[in-house]
Amino acid sequence: MTHSLQADSGWRVWWQLTRPHTLTASFAPVFLGTMIALHYSTINWTLFLAMLIASLLIQAATNMFNEYYDFARGLDNEKSVGIGGAIVRNGVKPKTVLMLALLLYVIAGAIGIYICSQTTWWLLVVGGVAMMIGYLYTGGPYPIAYTPFGELFSGVVMGYLIVIIAFYIQTGTVTLEASLLAVPSTLLVAAIMMSNNIRDIVGDEESGRKTLAILVRRPAAVNILMLFFIIAYAWIVILVISGTLTPWALLVFLSVLKPVKVVQIFKRYTEPLQVMPAMKDTGKTNTFFAFLLGIGLLIDYLL
C-alpha cells in the first residue's frame, strides 16, 4: 500500500495534521517581504520571527479547519488521497482537531497583538480579516473552497497580503515596488490551490463542489496552472528589463524545472496518487521562487 494511504503514528500524526507541504505558502511570503524591506530599513528580526510564527500557525490552523469540515460534511474517508488523515485514518477525534485549530488561532492572535503593539493597531483588523478568511475557507455555511474563488482568496491572502504585511512591519509603509514584487507570490500560492483542486477534481465534483478546476474542466485547469507559472517568471523578467529589479532577481530561474515538471505530470497522469508529486512540487516552486528572489534582493543590497 502506498504510504499516503497508510495510518501515521506518534508525532507523525500531529505533524501530518498541519499538512507540512503547504506551510511554505506562509513561510515564503514572509521571507520575501522581509528581504524587500531590507532595501528600505534595518530589519527587526524579532518582528520577523513573530510574523513568521503567526503565519505558520494560521496556515496550520486553516489546514485543520479544512480537515475537520471536510470530514464533518462526509467528504473524506480512509481512502481519500492527499488529506492530513488524522481523523479518517489515524483515529484523532474531530473535536480534538477543531479545538487544536482554534488554539493555534488564539496563539497566532496573541502574537499578532504583540506585532500591532510594535507597529500599528490597524494590522489587528487586517490580520483578523485574514484569519476569518482562513476559517471560512472550509468553515461556515458557504465555504470558499467549494466555490471558483479558492485560488483568488488563497493567493491574495497568503501570497500578496503576507508579503505586504511582512514589508510593512519593518518599514511602516507600503510601496509600489513591494506590491509589484508580491504579484508572483500571489500567483504561486494560487497555483498551490489550483494543483490541489486539479488533483481532487473527480471527488470534488462528486461532492458538489464548484471549484475553478471543475468549472473549466481538467485540461483548461492545467493550462491555467501553467499560465500562473509563466506569468510569475515573466513578471520578474519584466521588472528586470524595466529597471525595477537588478539582474540578480533572475536567480528565480534556477527553480524553473520544478513547474515544468508539475505541468508535465498533470498532463500525463490523472489519478490522484500519480499526481501527488506535482502537488508537492508546486509548493516547492513557491518556496524556491521566493527564496531565490529574496537571495537576489539580498545580494543586490550587499553589493
Mean pLDDT value across residues 180-204: 94
**Of all residues in the chain, what percent carry a pLDDT higher than 90?**
68
Residue 196's closest CA among 131, 280, 135? Answer: 280
Predicted pLDDT of residue 256: 97
Mean pLDDT value across residues 111-120: 96
- Mean pLDDT is lowest, of 69-73, 189-193, 200-204, 288-292, for 69-73
Does the pLDDT at position 24 exceed 90?
A: no
Predicted pLDDT of residue 71: 79
Does the pLDDT at position 260 exceed 90?
A: yes
Does the pLDDT at position 91 exceed 70?
A: no
Does the pLDDT at position 52 exceed 70?
A: yes
| pLDDT tens for each residue of 210-257 | 999 999 999 999 999 999 999 999 999 999 999 999 999 999 999 999
| pLDDT tens for each residue of 152-178 | 999 999 899 999 999 999 999 999 999
Domains of the chain, earliest start first: 3-302 (1.10.600)
- Mean pLDDT in the chain? 89
